[in-house]
């Protein structure tokens, strides 16, 4: 639910769970690849709401499996490899949350036990119910790297049904600047990335709610904000933390996406919130027409920027 906007006289304690990543702070340019080396000890981020998040993921897999799960034949061995990587990581990093007994893994906050050898379930689906991240596998082919398996519960205006099976170029065809500027770089990264050279990046977008599950296509029209005069309590900044690593056995690429959603009012709680709100305002105003359309901000750019400007000025 939207968070009520605070008056400038109120003293609000910092929210340490908010604004974990701020790619709009001026340190990087929008619509750039912006990859950085990843410390595998930090591969999967902690989630203070792990049980709630995993319950939502399990419900989506159960009730909307055709929307959030896809796999091609011949990918199960690589899926098992991905599952092992996830299990090895979480049991080492958070032994108080994940308890392994033989081939049965207990997610303690959830109170649920997973059979890691369950032949009735796709291994990637099991992995996708252990962590808050979405998991996507890409495999080298004659067309380049293709999306061949995915558990995508929390897409950001991205339809798995439309994108599954496509190559990197197909997946990113609608991204402004990709075909003529970024395609060659992206394909080269996928071809050359070594097992011991995982990377990560973050991006941002603006949404009218804090829902994690947004499977609608970017090409479909969206009516975001009802009351632009009171936009700050209604608007949310959505950040995707993405990681990319080559799996050592299959050579397939494993792509993870963790979504963070914060209301604009979280800027008022953050000790550097005014500067961050100003940075996001500037980032939005710097977008060209194609970039604004891609982020669904063509109609609302000025209203969103004005709301952020008020926060940046302490109003």
Mean model confidence pLDDT for the chain: 90
Q: Report the first-to-last Cα separation within the chain, whole angstroms.
A: 22
Is there a contact between 206 and 235 (Cβ–Cβ < 8 Å)?
Answer: yes
Is 170 part of a structural domain of the chain? Answer: yes
Is 231 part of a structural domain of the chain? Answer: yes
pLDDT tens-place string over residues 188-200: 999 999 999 999 9
Is there a contact between 106 and 98 (Cβ–Cβ < 8 Å)?
Answer: yes
Whole-number pLDDT of residue 229: 58
In this prediction, residue 209 has a pLDDT band, given cuts at 50, 70 and 90, of: confident
Report the pLDDT averaged over residues 160-186: 93
In this prediction, residue 228 has a pLDDT band, given cuts at 50, 70 and 90, of: low
User: Can you tell me the distance from the alpha carbon of 174 to that of 165, in angstroms, rounded to the nearest whole number?
Assistant: 16
pLDDT tens-place string over residues 86-145: 999 999 999 999 999 999 999 999 999 999 999 999 999 999 999 999 999 999 999 999
Is 65 part of a structural domain of the chain? Answer: yes
Is there a contact between 301 and 292 (Cβ–Cβ < 8 Å)?
Answer: yes
Is 92 part of a structural domain of the chain? Answer: yes
pLDDT at 221 over 80: no
Is 153 part of a structural domain of the chain? Answer: yes
Backbone region of residue 165 per phi and psi (left: phi > 0; alpha: psi in -120 to 50; beta: other values)? left
pLDDT at 208 over 50: yes
The CA distances from residue 170 to 6, 34, 153, in Å, are 44, 20, 21
For every residue of the chain, which 3-state class applies, written as one string?
Answer: CCCCCCCCCCCCCCCCCCCCCCCCCCCCCCCCCCCEECCHHHCCCCCCCHHHHHHHHHHHHHHCHHHHEEECCCCHHHHHHHHHHHHHHHHHHCCCCEEEECCEEEECCCCEEEECCCCCCCHHHHHCCCCCCEEEEEECCCCCCEEEEEECCCCECCCHHHHCCCEHHHHCCCCCCHHHHHHHHHHHHHHHCCCCCCEEEEEEEEECCCCCCECCCCCCCCCCCCCHHHCCCCCEEEEEEEEEEECCCCCCEEEEEEEEEEEHHHHHCCCCHHHHHHHHHHHHHCCCHHHHHHCCCCCCHHHHHHHHHHHHCCC
pLDDT at 7 over 70: no
Q: Give how many domains the chain has, as a whole number.
A: 1
In this prediction, residue 3 has a pLDDT band, given cuts at 50, 70 and 90, of: very low
User: Can you tell me the distance from the alpha carbon of 76 to that of 124, in angstroms, rounded to the nearest whole number?
Assistant: 8
Residue numbers of the domain that contains 201 = 36-312
Is 4 part of a structural domain of the chain? Answer: no
Q: Half-sphere exposure (CA, 13 Å, Cβ side) for 194?
A: 3
pLDDT tens-place string over residues 36-56: 999 999 999 999 999 999 999
The CA distances from residue 36 to 21, 33, 39, 159, 239, in Å, are 14, 9, 10, 27, 16
Is 28 part of a structural domain of the chain? Answer: no
Is 163 part of a structural domain of the chain? Answer: yes
For residue 201, give every residue at least 6 positions away whose Cβ sits within 8 Å of its Cβ, in sequence order, or none: 33, 34, 35, 36, 241, 242
């Amino acid at each position: 639910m939207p968070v009520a906007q605070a008056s400038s006289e109120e003293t609000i304690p910092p929210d340490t769970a908010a604004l974990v990543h701020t790619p709009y702070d001026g340190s990087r340019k929008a619509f750039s690849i912006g990859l950085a080396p990843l410390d595998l000890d930090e591969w999967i981020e902690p989630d203070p709401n792990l049980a709630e998040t995993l319950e939502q993921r399990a419900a989506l897999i159960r009730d909307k499996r055709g929307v959030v799960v896809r796999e091609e034949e011949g990918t199960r061995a690589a899926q098992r490899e991905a599952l092992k990587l996830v299990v090895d990581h979480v049991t080492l990093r958070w032994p108080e949350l994940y308890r392994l007994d033989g081939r049965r893994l207990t997610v303690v906050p959830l109170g649920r036990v997973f059979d890691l050898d369950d032949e009735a379930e796709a291994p990637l689906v099991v992995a996708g119910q252990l962590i808050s991240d979405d998991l996507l596998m890409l495999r080298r082919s004659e067309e380049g790297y293709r999306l061949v398996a995915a558990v995508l519960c929390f897409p950001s205006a991205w339809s798995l049904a439309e994108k599954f099976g496509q190559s990197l170029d197909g997946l990113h065809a609608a991204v402004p600047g990709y075909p003529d500027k970024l395609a060659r770089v992206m394909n080269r990264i996928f071809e050359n990335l070594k097992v011991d050279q995982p990377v990560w990046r973050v991006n941002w977008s603006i949404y009218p709610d804090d829902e994690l599950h947004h499977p609608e296509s970017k090409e479909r029209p969206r009516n975001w904000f009802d009351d632009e005069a009171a936009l700050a309590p209604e608007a949310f900044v959505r950040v995707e933390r993405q990681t990319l690593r080559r799996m050592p056995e299959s050579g397939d690429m494993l792509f993870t996406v963790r979504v963070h959603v914060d209301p604009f009012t979280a800027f008022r709680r953050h000790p550097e919130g005014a500067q961050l709100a100003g940075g996001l305002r500037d980032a939005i105003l710097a977008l060209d027409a194609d970039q604004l359309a891609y982020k669904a901000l063509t109609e609302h750019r000025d209203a969103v920027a004005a709301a952020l400007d008020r926060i940046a000025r302490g109003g």
